Amino acid sequence: MGYGNQNPFVPKHLIKRFAPDHDLIRNHKHLRMFGNLLHDPNLWHMNRRSVSGAFAVGLFWAFIPMPFQMIAAASTAIPARVNLPISVALVWITNPLTIPPLFYFNYLVGVWFLGAPPEGGHLHWDMEGLMEVMEHIWQPLYLGSLVNALVASLTGYLIIRGLWRLHVISYLKRRQLQRRQREVNRGR
């Protein structure tokens, strides 16, 4: 019995269901600048390498406080030839609800690494408040962001690689068990 209609990589279908549409990404106003580079089939593949690499790219840029994170993720995913929709979608981990706690955590990590005391007073982690105190907090914020981006990127990469491998091993064991069961049934 071959693969038939069964696909051994069910997570692919789950990921595809939540990933942005290829045409939506190819025609996005900020991503059109990549032109024909977006037609590379490797950017749309769903395999262990491309998905784990996409998690690394997307998680890295999600932790860096900057505008247009999607463009940065796409600019990294294209030469790395990892899944573009996943890379771009993952930067939305940072959104208006998650930015304040995430960037405050990044700031605290940066303060810890620099050995500096945290900024006194009450920091307001909205856009207006950040602009007022940015000259005082930019070094620990960006250092903490870089450290957390690297940790999240590596962790995401390793977790996806491991989960993908476990899923494949599980599928192969089930398939082997089914094959043995058919052989036993034929022998009766």
Walk along the chain (188 residues) and give the pLDDT tens digit of each residue.
Answer: 344 444 454 456 655 665 656 666 666 666 666 666 766 777 887 888 999 999 999 999 999 999 889 999 999 999 999 999 899 999 999 998 998 899 989 999 999 999 888 876 565 656 676 677 777 788 999 999 999 999 999 999 999 999 989 988 998 999 999 888 888 888 76
What is the pLDDT, as a whole number, of residue 91?
94
Exposed/middle/buried for 82, CB within 10 Å: 0-12, 13-18, 19+?
A: buried
CB 84 within 8 A of CB 38: yes
Per-domain boundaries in the chain: 10-187
The pTM for the full model equals 0.73
DSSP states along 87-152: HHHHGGGSSTTTHHHHHHHHHHHHHHHHTPPPPSS----SHHHHHHHHHHHHHHHHHHHHHHHHHH
Other Cβ atoms closer than 10 A to 100: 15
